[in-house]
Structure 1
């Protein structure tokens, strides 16, 4: 199957601190792909470069070298006009639902903005807003209320509805549940799964939490210091990690049962020692 998103040998660097400081290379030859209707989980600690990948795909940071192709078209140096056209097919859900919505606009106006920008008439936009609120399990009366009247989980549902407004092929989800409590996280992840099953949308799901990614992703890519250190099917990566950094992320993931956590740690340590001896 031809990838929907294809990133090849991507390099991104930022200016160093100080006038004569060398540039800091944030991404070093990153390659990954996402197929239509698939979720790729991109996992790494803070500063690993995972969010920079998402921002590069969205055209929010300049690419030093390498290529980004979306639906068979190069977009790594897309013009503003091209990016505006891309917004119908490529959308984003940001981390913080408290700041990603305009606090001065009622929810209905927030959802209408991308529709009207693409030439959708007011009556059609009103019908689409009702459909979107139904899709994310929010009451239609929410259209007339301000974001501050909703909880964090409800605001993230509204943000997801906005991302779905133009029926995109791919949504970049940048830590979309990290600001939510565990119960709300589960509900939002379940919603994202249902939306994917009914619409066929693909996700680039960025997170620091391998446990969260495991419940949603078909494949997982682990990034460390700007490089992909492990990449494969979710079960393979999370149950039989090859790279020490992936093991570290797994051990850092919370487990309710202390005995199970201890047994998992001992098993990983034992396997790592055996590989080192071999």
Structure 2
């Protein structure tokens, strides 16, 4: 994917902003079966101003990690700390306060926006919830729309009046409203066409350059993760199987599963794609 990238630059230094240690999550089994362990002892760190790419196939547990960080699923054991504060046991009130520093961008921008609210009202909600006054809120909404390259009159329109890429820009603006320190990006471009994906990824990189926000960037697409990330963590069946600098993990991976993901990336050449299929079958850790 041809887009600007932090790949090739050193990962930001310093203590971790977000840390997961031995995090385990399980869900009830169907028809009285034993609980299913989805996360099996996850260790992850995201540093300030860094993008950590989290990549894995559907069902690997990557989205569950994001939901655990956001308090949307309970953690069975282990700890999650943010800014030095343990948050996996935080109360509902504390979680609301944490929204100032910890935000999310979901996969589907349409379902993540209230269809009955104008864009201005959508962007105003977090600002008002944090005690913003009317004048300051209007100014902040205008600044947010400009930040994501949308016209000021977008504030008076409804989500259905925008394209998918524009709606994702609105979702990004909402995530930025309170000037967070970290954003969980959960497959933020997978519902978009390739051209629109590039513009949204470039926007996210531009925002990070300007604001030093950190991203946990969750995706099934290794090429997208490579374009976005300083470091990459690979998850397989609820376990982190490889972590390292983006250039190393995405070009010379050590784990067989990561090599399989690399071989799964589509290429334009039909013969090369066939060779990759054959090599993927030989390298598959499931064999």
> Is the TM-score greater than 0.5?
yes
User: Which consecutive unaligned segments of at least 5 residues does structure 1 have?
Assistant: 273-278
Query: Contact 2:53–2:218 (CA<8 Å) still a contact in 1?
Result: yes
**What is the 5 A alignment of 1:177-216?**
177-216=189-228
Residue 56, structure 1, aligned to residue 68, structure 2: yes
Structure 1: how far apart are the matches of 2:110 and 2:170?
11
Residue 11, structure 1, aligned to residue 19, structure 2: no
Residue 2, structure 1, aligned to residue 2, structure 2: no
Residue 97, structure 1, aligned to residue 109, structure 2: yes
Q: Per-residue displacement from partner, 1:227-261 (whole Å, max 9, x unpaired)?
A: 00111000000110111111111111111233554
**RMSD of aligned Cα (Å):** 1.7
Alignment equivalent of 2:261, drawn from 236, 249, 273? 249
Aligned to 1:275: none
Q: Please give the TM-score of this superposition, normalised by the length of structure 1.
A: 0.94
SS class of match (2:112): coil
Residue 126, structure 1, aligned to residue 138, structure 2: yes
Distance apart, 1:264 and its partner CA: 6.3
Aligned to 2:245: 233
Aligned to 1:87: 99
**What is the 5 A alignment of 1:27-176?**
27-176=39-188
Distance apart, 1:268 and its partner CA: 8.1
Query: Contact 2:18–2:83 (CA<8 Å) still a contact in 1?
Result: yes
User: Which consecutive unaligned segments of at least 5 residues does structure 2 have?
Assistant: 1-13
Q: Per-residue displacement from partner, 1:174-204 (whole Å, max 9, x unpaired)?
A: 0000000000000000000000000000000
